[in-house]
A and B are shown apart, each in its own frame.
Chain A
Amino acid sequence: MINRPSAGLQVDPLLDELRGGKPLAIARAITAIENGTPLGTEVARATRPFAGRSWTLGVTGPPGAGKSSLINALIAEFATRRRKIGVLTVDPSSPLSGGALLGDRVRMAKHSSNPQVFIRSLAARGHLGGVTRMTAEIMGVLDAAGVDLTIVETVGTGQSEVDVADLVRVKLVVCPPGLGDDMQAIKAGVLEIADLLVVNKADLPGAEQTAMQLRAMLHHGGSGDRRSVMLTDAVAGSGVSELADAIEQRFRQPPASDPRRRDRRTSRARRSLASRAASWVRDGVLDSLDPRIEQICLEIEAEGTPRRDALRRVLSTLLDGEDGGLMPGPTPLGRGGTDHEP
């Protein structure tokens, strides 16, 4: 029996069971990390050395493109090729209540009882960029548990979901047929991170044309572009085996080096640092009952855009909180991820 994350800090037995691939241990380790408990911090630290052991695949694309259905088909395909598959699916949290409907695995129901497959639904909890704040750490848990293929499905707002690019080796962008507004939404950010572009729902009219337009778009990027466009019908299963081949081939290639990018590990740390700092400031400003912050807001109301000086005062006020404000402690007034009374 494993303690609930809120209970005693039993990190060693939890890690042993986790490394043995026990689903309950994996699940509780993920919960602890998601909730930022002291146990979670310990688990994240202990599993960090394992991070990067598995093949990591990101799946992104606009709502309704068929990401979950395609992952469902890919799980079936990869289950014959790999030993253990981990899937993380991210859905948005309600900005009003903080609650979430996590429905991605409805499409993956047939893998619920396959011991080779571990699926976890994650709520974005206010984090933008298509994944959750703790996704990298959670992937480390899956690595430590012996998963050899990790699939991360992003929220699917279709634009600016580029955080996943720092987390995974191979990026799949799924597009539905029809180059209407969907394409407008994704072409600015998401297409640039794609290793493989997939036009799903290939049975629908316009699929071939969409693929052609995407190929033309890649062609504009220069003849050195090695990326390819594929067609699938996730429900009928056509094109899925070819897609799995293409994904495997990408994993076997050495990672493309891009001189413009910083070392990937540092870049991930930078993003994580930036996003944690941003959410700390955001929560601090929105929740604060500190009269000094109220005063700064009154001044901004009167004078317009916050000046550098106002920003500096806000930061120093926040840092002035008890124990520097940066240590976890009881939150008298929660936001977002908290459990509000009705």
Chain B
Amino acid sequence: MNSIPNRIPNPRILLTKSFIDSHDRAIATIAMALRDASMEVVLIDFEVPDDVANVAVQEDVDAIGISFMSGGQVETTGRIMALLKERGVPDLPVVVGGTIRPFDVEPLEATGVRAIFRGGAPLADVVTTFRALAREYREKA
């Protein structure tokens, strides 16, 4: 009973990768796993870091996942984090995954990302992390 409206909405997640990078197997896998875990997943290929911040705002997502299969991990992520702050969503959690070289981990963490999933990370961990971060963000005023 009392089923309208649904009280706990599905988390909304933005998953993105550079439009130049054609490796979309990982992002598609994550997207389907999140969908199967009841999340609403918005997909875009970004041309510039601004695209990620703008789309995250318009779509009012609860978390962002950025997939890197080539280069620019640290620079791009740092720029996106700065833009999120500018757009008024400094707390929006960002998760990074893909080919993250060992020496990129520390500078990536320094940008403020909430989680880093390198190759071989279990899918269940990825799903749990997105769910927890999204819920935490939504509950925080």
Contact = CB atoms under 8 A, between A and B. Distances in A.
Given A102-B42, A112-B51, A331 B36 contact: no
Nearest to A32: B60
A164 to B, nearest CB: 21
Contact of B5 (A3, A36, A98): A36
Q: Main SS of the interface on chain B?
A: mixed
A277 to B, nearest CB: 10
17 contacts: A4-B138, A23-B87, A35-B9, A93-B40, A101-B31, A102-B42, A109-B51, A119-B58, A121-B42, A276-B4, A284-B1, A328-B4, A330-B7, A339-B8, A339-B38, A339-B135, A342-B37
A279 B4 contact: yes
Contact of B37 (A35, A97, A118): A97
B46 A112 contact: yes
B16 to A, nearest CB: 10
A2 interface: yes
Nearest to B90: A1
B137 to A, nearest CB: 8
A251 interface: no
Contacts, number: 169
Instruction: Determine which residue in A26, A96, A100, A327 has the highest number of CB atoms from chain B within 10 A of its CB, and name it.
Output: A100
A112 to B, nearest CB: 4
A137 B51 CA distance: 27
B75 interface: no
Interface of A: 1-4, 6-8, 23-24, 26-28, 30-31, 34-37, 93-94, 96-103, 105-106, 109-110, 112-113, 118-121, 123, 276, 279-280, 283-284, 287-288, 290, 318, 321-322, 325, 327-331, 334-340, 342
Contact of B19 (A4, A6, A109, A283): A109
Interface string B38-69: 11111111111011001101111000000000
B43 A103 contact: yes
B101 interface: no
A-B pairs with the 7 shortest C-beta distances? A36-B5, A283-B3, A7-B141, A99-B35, A112-B51, A27-B60, A321-B1
Contacts of A335: 3, 6
B11 interface: yes
A75 to B, nearest CB: 14
A334 to B, nearest CB: 6
Contacts of A30: 60
Contacts of A101: 31-32, 35, 41, 43
Contacts of B11: 339
Nearest to B137: A4
A23 B58 contact: yes
B8 A27 contact: no
Interface in B98-141: 127, 131, 135, 137-141
A2 B9 contact: no
Given A97-B38, A99-B10, A325-B2, 8 more contacts: A24-B89, A34-B9, A35-B5, A100-B41, A287-B3, A334-B3, A339-B10, A342-B127
Contacts of B87: 23-24
B58 A27 contact: yes
Contacts of B95: none
